[in-house]
Chains A and B, each alone.
Chain A
């Protein structure tokens, strides 16, 4: 028998997938753009060579940590629970496979993020030539990033092995990433960590990462690099062992008790919305409490960092952006699971046999999502308004106009994002059978892709000016580029999702979408016409 057969299969599948190459290229291009932007800033005299190297190293390392932790958690969080929901886990155990075969096989899914990190490492290595970074720093960060990937992948597998619901598993994994990274963020913000927080940091990969990325001379409180790396790595193996044990024990498909107990709302005009709006009041209140808790936590951390200056604009901005991000995540999560959960339970098939058309079913799902997020949304809007007024009072009348404009722009962007995330989430949920993959693609397309475009566009402007000057005009152009990238991604993806859902809803619901036609690039039609005809 082949050693670890599922791992071999997963590796072969991911190696042959075109998206693997696209992801890798995108990561390398983004890393190269960040390097280029910092190099050009160095040429313009805004930064010295060593500080440019150090800044680039830190930026790329932090981006790498975010990508590694997020990708590992999202890619593994729903892999076992999906098998369990589809009743295929038991079939695997009819063969010679053991629990660890399945778990290590699923862990091999992380080959794509490893390729992406490997593609970005050469760009990170360029900072060695710029100065301010030693070979030891580079090797330490590379090791810490790979360890982060392994640790959160193992944790995601353990969560997946204990879950049945894909959305719950993905949310738990993301929450674990946030909790695991919170002490590191607090330490980077200048907070002196107390003993228990330092011990917690020691056990997570964030501890080794912090020790690698921060120079020894800095006053940041951090654990020892090698001991933290060893402890978190060992903990990762413990997670793997626990997941292997758990997956072998629980092969039966435990149907969600809450879903079974829930009953649709009576008196609803749209049956699709009625079916979707089960359990909602409790969930929406829970989210309101979570948002209030987040605001309280940010205020507490700000007060701990600086007792004199906590009541200031950075704290307000942190609360606004944090609550918006959480609500955006919830909108995408609800949209991604809305239609697939009904397809799985057979409700969608029954709905499609009724006179209801696709538009009615989609609008029912959107109504249910709106209802679910209405209370948290109103809470966030109220909090934004309060913080806007407080900030205005803090900075004075005339400076307050800039603050109010920025907050209003953020609120507009937030509303646009909610709309796009909902539509794209519905489409991705139907396209991909894996909830975490659908959620990851939705969040990536709407929230992260504009920043990727911005990196490319900034590098483009930098090459045009050859780093001659970092003038206010260049800053204005960069800001305009960001707005354009946000608008293009939001409008483009929302329009695409609306178009696809309205045109091919039945095919998407039945997983029978025809393969996409090859893209007709304009230059192809030109060259086709210009090519001389034979004979």
Chain B
């Protein structure tokens, strides 16, 4: 028998109550994680919970475009700020947040899990808030670095 003929084992049925609890907790962690700098620990936990829930419900984790747009957007904002274009940096931040909102919406609609999770929307809200907190933290750190160097 070839290796291709071996079908992957089905996932064990998830504990739905636990998945709902975790999704609610992911939302709460994301909410606290949205506070720039102070919520960094919670951002980490929100992303970790998202991965755990996705593994449990059989949902594919696709965070590559999110990280790529974050990096590109932050680099663009930094270059705008260095070139004395604060409006450009602000516009870039708005576009970045809009793009990421669209990404999460598309992910939520298209990337259906194998197991139904009634609190899935809360998990995505938590993830979005945590990501916003991460971006705001990066922005604050960049601002501090630039202001120190200018002083």
**Residue from A484, A489, A523 having most chain B Cβ neighbours under 10 A:** A484
Say whether, besides A477-B144, A526-B67, A503 and B40 are in contact (CB < 8 Å).
no
Query: A496 to B148, Cβ gap below 8 A?
Result: no
Query: A484 to B37, Cβ gap below 8 A?
Result: yes
Query: A525 to B41, Cβ gap below 8 A?
Result: no
Segment 21-73 of B: residues with Cβ below 8 Å from A: 21-22, 25, 29, 32, 37-42, 44-45, 49, 51-52, 55, 61, 63-64, 67-68, 71
B66 → A minimal CB distance (Å): 9
CB of B149 closer than 8 Å to a CB of A: yes
Query: A496 to B45, Cβ gap below 8 A?
Result: yes
Contact with B along A501-535 (1 / 0, CB 8 A): 01100000000000001001011011011000000
> What total of chain B residues lie within 8 Å of the partner, measured CB to CB?
29
CB of B109 closer than 8 Å to a CB of A: no
Say whether, besides A461-B148, A465-B148, A503-B22, A495 and B42 are in contact (CB < 8 Å).
yes
Query: A492 to B148, Cβ gap below 8 A?
Result: no
A472 → B minimal CB distance (Å): 11
Distance of A498 Cα from B25 Cα, bound (Å): 10
Q: CB-CB < 8 A to A487: which residues of B?
A: 37-39, 41
Query: A473 to B64, Cβ gap below 8 A?
Result: no
Residue of B nearest to A477 (CB): B144
Distance of A343 Cα from B15 Cα, bound (Å): 25
B105 → A minimal CB distance (Å): 20
Query: A492 to B45, Cβ gap below 8 A?
Result: yes
Distance of A484 Cα from B36 Cα, bound (Å): 10
Query: B149 to A464, Cβ gap below 8 A?
Result: yes
SS class of chain A's interface: helix, strand, loop or mixed? helix
CB of A433 closer than 8 Å to a CB of B: no
Q: CB-CB < 8 A to A526: which residues of B?
A: 64, 67-68, 71
Query: A489 to B41, Cβ gap below 8 A?
Result: yes
Query: A491 to B49, Cβ gap below 8 A?
Result: no
Say whether, besides A471-B151, A525-B63, A499 and B39 are in contact (CB < 8 Å).
no
CB of B145 closer than 8 Å to a CB of A: yes
Segment 130-162 of A: residues with Cβ below 8 Å from B: none
Segment 121-151 of B: residues with Cβ below 8 Å from A: 144-145, 148-149, 151
CB of A414 closer than 8 Å to a CB of B: no
**Contact for A492 among B40, B49, B68, B145, CB less than 8 A:** B40
A175 → B minimal CB distance (Å): 32
Distance of A496 Cα from B63 Cα, bound (Å): 22
Q: CB-CB < 8 A to B110: which residues of A?
A: none
Contact with B along A36-59 (1 / 0, CB 8 A): 000000000000000000000000
Q: CB-CB < 8 A to A528: which residues of B?
A: 64
Distance of A488 Cα from B37 Cα, bound (Å): 8
**Residue from B21, B49, B64 having most chain A Cβ neighbours under 10 A:** B64
Segment 458-476 of A: residues with Cβ below 8 Å from B: 461, 464-465, 471, 473-474
Residue of A nearest to B35 (CB): A487
Distance of A487 Cα from B25 Cα, bound (Å): 19
B147 → A minimal CB distance (Å): 8
A450 → B minimal CB distance (Å): 11
Query: A525 to B148, Cβ gap below 8 A?
Result: no
Distance of A520 Cα from B44 Cα, bound (Å): 11
Query: A464 to B145, Cβ gap below 8 A?
Result: yes
Distance of A492 Cα from B45 Cα, bound (Å): 7
Query: B63 to A491, Cβ gap below 8 A?
Result: no
Distance of A275 Cα from B45 Cα, bound (Å): 32
Q: CB-CB < 8 A to B71: which residues of A?
A: 526
A492 → B minimal CB distance (Å): 2
Query: B44 to A492, Cβ gap below 8 A?
Result: yes
Residue of B nearest to A464 (CB): B148
CB of B106 closer than 8 Å to a CB of A: no
A22 → B minimal CB distance (Å): 18
Q: CB-CB < 8 A to B21: which residues of A?
A: 502
Q: CB-CB < 8 A to B37: which residues of A?
A: 484, 487-488
Distance of A520 Cα from B55 Cα, bound (Å): 13
Query: A477 to B67, Cβ gap below 8 A?
Result: no
Distance of A522 Cα from B51 Cα, bound (Å): 12
List 12 additional A-B contacts (Cβ < 8 Å) besides A473-B151, A495-B32: A484-B38, A487-B38, A487-B39, A488-B38, A492-B41, A495-B45, A503-B22, A517-B55, A520-B51, A525-B64, A526-B67, A526-B68
Q: Which 10 A-B pairs have the closest CB atoms?
A: A492-B41, A487-B38, A488-B41, A522-B67, A484-B37, A529-B64, A491-B41, A495-B45, A488-B40, A525-B64
A sample of 27 cross-chain residue pairs with beta-carbon separation below 8 angstroms, ordered by A number, consists of A465-B148, A471-B151, A477-B144, A477-B148, A487-B38, A488-B37, A488-B38, A488-B41, A489-B41, A491-B32, A491-B41, A492-B44, A493-B41, A495-B29, A495-B32, A496-B41, A498-B25, A499-B25, A503-B22, A520-B51, A520-B61, A522-B63, A525-B67, A526-B67, A526-B68, A528-B64, A529-B64
B interface vs A, CB < 8 Å? 18, 21-22, 25, 29, 32, 37-42, 44-45, 49, 51-52, 55, 61, 63-64, 67-68, 71, 144-145, 148-149, 151
